[in-house]
Chain A
């Protein structure tokens, strides 16, 4: 799905818990997410810390979208 958006000229970033699959499929900008059932979150954190984590993930995704990449690249955020 995402590659079609890129083909149409819209830069995208994927937040996913399994960057290896995204990389092998050829997604260009990948952010390692929280977990499969909560890609933009982490329920083991206290609520306000989880929102802080979510913010960092989304900001990293926006950073990725603003970055020139040549091939599938994984961007990571610390917990």
Chain B
């Protein structure tokens, strides 16, 4: 497969009379877009939708963040960017795709908490644009078009989930249309058709997602992956958004759609392909399997895919906490047993100074080569901010009532779990645990 990606960077985002892109400034007709999104909400679960703009460096905080999407459009080649999402599940990864490099569409809503399972509900997720927590999320550096939504009462989780996702995707596509007939400022070409130097080491990537039910799901070509058996995908398919996230349960443990289409390991390995290594493919599966037997089964099947790709080495990462770590560690163990060298990256625990107990929930003796994604057990003092987008209040601690609390004030959070992407599970963050 061969794919050319064209990037467009904006230098400002505004509301204005007409939706347009000129001289790096993206103007959005707020009323028109709002109307379009509400009209197309076929479940009609969205009670209200307000578009908000949040810019990098702004003294602002965004709350209730659910999924975050990159506006992109295919200009050549089969299928659409994010195939299977309100369109045919055509196999993507060829031709040309145009993308906004630094613009993100954020779905924000307070999804109902009442009567939910103790795992499956959207815990409040925070993105700080400035201050010490800005480093926890890559979206403190993007122009964010926030869809602040409120939902009608009385519907089911499946309906709410679909409504917010469809609103986000439609908004992203509305904006991406502007890129269709334009020449990109910057392009990257990825060629996985032409054979490379056979002496180069062959490397695969295992990306293990979360899928434990509505609000914690991940979608492959438009369908959630509850019973998925590990599958191998071409790097360019992944770049064209065939993996979309509907995972809102733990803010720190998630890889939103924007990052799923730009997985740093996929991008970096693709850039090295043909030069210092042969990137043989991506293996996609899910963790959190319910018994040791099922975990071992999926681990073995994933390792088997890695072996079938002919990999000499593999990078492994996962979405989720301890339960998922076990599946990934078993995958690593099987790879190592078969002589495939494995490196994984992971968040750590360790407490505020690293000395409290163990760093990892689970490991295997073969996990001798690990990279740190940073500890999630560090307290963070977040500052008072001028403005809050996405909502007005924070809902923390559902298990003790989940009362709303002011979102703009200074506050000390005991650990990094409420921060969007704080667990650094795509590997995009430069926060790491450093030993002293």
Size bin of chain A's contact surface: 10 to 19
Of residues 12 through 69 on chain A, the ones whose CB sits less than 8 Å from some CB of chain B are 17-21, 24, 32, 34-37
Stretch at the interface among B52-60, B287-295, B342-350: B287-295
Partner of A17, one of B290, B361, B362: B290
A37 to B362, CA, bound (A): 18
A19 to B363, CA, bound (A): 13
A37 to B216, CA, bound (A): 15
Residue of A nearest to B361 (CB): A21
Residue of A nearest to B330 (CB): A20
Contacting pair B290 A37 (CB below 8 A):
yes
A17 nearest CB across to chain B (Å): 5
Q: Number of B residues contacting the other chain (C-beta, 8 Å)?
A: 11
Contacting pair A36 B323 (CB below 8 A):
yes
Contacts A18-B295, A18-B326, A21-B326; is A35 near B290 (CB within 8 Å)?
A: yes
Residue of B nearest to A18 (CB): B292
Residue of B nearest to A36 (CB): B290
What string of 1s and 0s marks CB contacts (under 8 Å) between A63-79 and chain B?
A: 00000000000000000
A52 to B256, CA, bound (A): 43
Of residues 347 through 362 on chain B, the ones whose CB sits less than 8 Å from some CB of chain A are 361-362
A17 to B362, CA, bound (A): 14
Residue of B nearest to A20 (CB): B292
A20 to B294, CA, bound (A): 13
What are 11 pairs between A and B in contact, CB < 8 Å? A17-B290, A18-B291, A20-B292, A20-B326, A20-B330, A21-B326, A24-B363, A32-B291, A35-B291, A36-B291, A37-B290
Q: Which residues of B contact A (CB under 8 A)?
A: 288, 290-292, 295, 323, 326, 330, 361-363
